[in-house]
C-alpha cells in the first residue's frame, strides 16, 4: 500500500506540473496592436525687422544749421520676419549739447504716420508708443519733420548733436493653432 501511495503521489505531482505548464502557456499568449503619429513638428517664428536708413547719417546729416531751418525725412520700417509684430521707437544721444538739452529752443521734431501725428515736441523727449500690427513682409512709413526753432540762441552756434533712434519690435500674442 505504501508503494501505491507513493505511486499515486508521484502521479499527482506529475499532473500538477503538466497542468501548470499548460496554464502558463495559455496565460502568456497575448494579442497586441500599435498605432503611431509620425513626422510631427513644431517650427517657431522669426521676429526680425529692418528700416531703409540703417547707417550713420542716413536719416539726417545737416550742416550749417541756423535757427528757423527744417528737415523732412521718412523711414520705412519693414517686417522681415514671418510673424506679425508691433513696434515702438525711442531716442538717445551720447553727447548732450544745448541743441539737445534745451527743450524749448533746441531741436524739435514732429513724427507722423500718414496724416496722424504720433509725437511733437523736443527731439530729446521723443518716444513713439506701439504701432498697429505690422504683418510679415509688410511695411510702415514714418515721417520726421525736424526743426531748429527761430528762438535758437547765439550759445547754440557751432554745435553738433548726434542721436540714435531705436525701433523695438514685439511679437503679437500667441494663439490657438
Residue 18 covered by a domain: no
The C-alpha cell at 7 is: 505511486
The C-alpha cell at 47 is: 521676429
Range of the domain at 77: 49-149+159-170
- Secondary structure percentages of the chain, helix, strand, coil, to 5: 20, 30, 50
Give bridge partners of residue 72 from the DSSP assignment: 145
Residue 20 covered by a domain: no
Span 13-17, mean pLDDT?
57
Model-level pTM? 0.79
Residue 123 covered by a domain: yes
**CA-CA distances (angstroms) from residue 139 to 47, 100, 101, 127, 176?**
14, 30, 33, 20, 26
Decide the pairing of beta strands 127-128 and 85-92.
antiparallel
Task: Kindly report, residue by residue over 90-112, the tens digit of the pLDDT.
Answer: 999 988 999 999 999 999 999 99
Give the pLDDT confidence score for residue 121 in this predicted structure.
98
Number of domains composing the chain: 1
Task: Kindly report, residue by residue over 28-38, the tens digit of the pLDDT.
Answer: 778 999 999 99
Radius of gyration of the chain (CA): 40
Split at pLDDT 50, 70, 90, the class of 139 is: very high
Specify the 3-state DSSP secondary structure of 32: coil
Residue 77 covered by a domain: yes
Span 76-101, mean pLDDT?
96
Residue 177 covered by a domain: no
Residue 2 covered by a domain: no
Residue 175 covered by a domain: no
The residue count for the chain = 177
Split at pLDDT 50, 70, 90, the class of 5 is: low
Mean per-residue pLDDT over the chain, rounded: 90
Q: What is the CATH number of the domain that holds 96?
A: 2.60.40
- CA atoms of 25 and 175, how far apart (whole Å): 54
Span 131-136, mean pLDDT?
96
DSSP 172: P
Give the torsion through C-alpha atoms of 150, 109, 60, 93, to 10 deg: 100
Question: Is pLDDT above 90 for 50?
Answer: yes
Asked if 107 and 151 touch (Cβ cutoff 8 Å), the reply is no
The C-alpha cell at 56 is: 550713420
Residue 35 covered by a domain: no
Split at pLDDT 50, 70, 90, the class of 129 is: very high
Amino acid at each position: 500500500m505504501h508503494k501505491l501511495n507513493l505511486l499515486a503521489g508521484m502521479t499527482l505531482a506529475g499532473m500538477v506540473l503538466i497542468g501548470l505548464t499548460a496554464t502558463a502557456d495559455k496565460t502568456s499568449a497575448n494579442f497586441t496592436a500599435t498605432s503611431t503619429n509620425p513626422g510631427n513638428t513644431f517650427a517657431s517664428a522669426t521676429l526680425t525687422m529692418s528700416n531703409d536708413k540703417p547707417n550713420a547719417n542716413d536719416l539726417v546729416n545737416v550742416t550749417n544749421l541756423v535757427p528757423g531751418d527744417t528737415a523732412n525725412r521718412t523711414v520705412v520700417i519693414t517686417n522681415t520676419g514671418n510673424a506679425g509684430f508691433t513696434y515702438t521707437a525711442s531716442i538717445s544721444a551720447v553727447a548732450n549739447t544745448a541743441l539737445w538739452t534745451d527743450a524749448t529752443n533746441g531741436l524739435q521734431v514732429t513724427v507722423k504716420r500718414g496724416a496722424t501725428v504720433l509725437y511733437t515736441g523736443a527731439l530729446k523727449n521723443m518716444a513713439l508708443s506701439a504701432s498697429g500690427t505690422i504683418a510679415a513682409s509688410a511695411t510702415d512709413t514714418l515721417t520726421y519733420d525736424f526743426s531748429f526753432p527761430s528762438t535758437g540762441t547765439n550759445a547754440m552756434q557751432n554745435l553738433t548733436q548726434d542721436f540714435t533712434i531705436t525701433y523695438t519690435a514685439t511679437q503679437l500674442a500667441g494663439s490657438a493653432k
